[in-house]
Amino acid sequence: MRIVLAALFLPFLIWTNRPNVSGQDWRQIVPLKSTRAEVERLLGPTTGDYFGKYELKEGSLFIEYSSGPCKPERKGGWNVPRDVVIMVNFSPKHRRRIADLRLDPRKFRKVIDDHVIGVLYYVNDEEGVTYAVQSGKIDFVEYHAAKRDEHLYCGDPADDKQRPVKQATILAPNHH
């Protein structure tokens, strides 16, 4: 009888103790600070060596991890240990209008994607956040290295620093 009760109770115990991946807990993940172990405690394990992908109730979450500190033979990347989060990308299931966020135009620069017609990026380098917008609605939000972390970049500081807006035209800050 004890075995039967244990067998019935065990799935309930596992289900109630699993990480809450339906909430906004993923917002605790900080690029160049959080580790794979912290992410997996929060969201569960994934199979990728340098990335993790999670399907949440609110949308898709993609996390990129470092392959390790700078090396002479490697150009680019970040001077942080292996398995430190370097980028978090969230694509919501229900796309909100960018206007609803009421972003401070002094903190974000607008950038037009030169390869994809109609895509506009709102980039805040100070905080390390980028919104990709199409038809006025947010396709994804990406959290990446903030300006204060530029000293950790492996390579020439004048390089792109692996920002998502590689081939783009920068608009004047007050352009609408």
- 23-27, 111-115, 122-126, 144-148, range with the lowest pLDDT: 23-27
Return the pLDDT at 5.
Answer: 36
d(CA 50, CA 78): 13
d(CA 97, CA 88): 20
Evaluate whether residue 7 is within a structural domain: no
- What's the predicted TM-score (pTM) here? 0.75
- 57-66, 88-97, 105-114, 164-173, range with the lowest pLDDT: 164-173
**Alpha-helical runs (H) found in the chain:** 2-17, 36-43
- pLDDT for residue 43 is more than 90: yes
Evaluate whether residue 155 is within a structural domain: yes
Evaluate whether residue 175 is within a structural domain: no
The residue with tokens 């390790």 is 68
Helix, strand or coil, per DSSP, at residue 129:
strand
d(CA 115, CA 62): 22
Q: Is 129:98 a contact under the CB 8 Å cutoff?
A: no
Return the pLDDT at 136.
Answer: 94
d(CA 128, CA 163): 9
Evaluate whether residue 96 is within a structural domain: yes
Number of domains the chain contains:
1
Mean pLDDT, range 34-59, rounded to an integer: 93
Evaluate whether residue 6 is within a structural domain: no
User: Which contiguous run of DSSP H or E holds residue 91?
Assistant: strand 85-92
Return the pLDDT at 14.
Answer: 34
Evaluate whether residue 127 is within a structural domain: yes
Evaluate whether residue 120 is within a structural domain: yes
Return the pLDDT at 143.
Answer: 97
What confidence category does residue 157 fall into, taking pLDDT thresholds of 50, 70 and 90?
low
**CA of residue 27 relative to chain centroid, distance:** 9
β-pairing verdict for 59-65 and 168-170: unpaired
> Residue 122: which domain range?
21-170
Evaluate whether residue 2 is within a structural domain: no
The b/e string for 5-22 (b: 16+ C-beta within 10 A; e otherwise) is: eeeeeeeeeeeeeeeebe
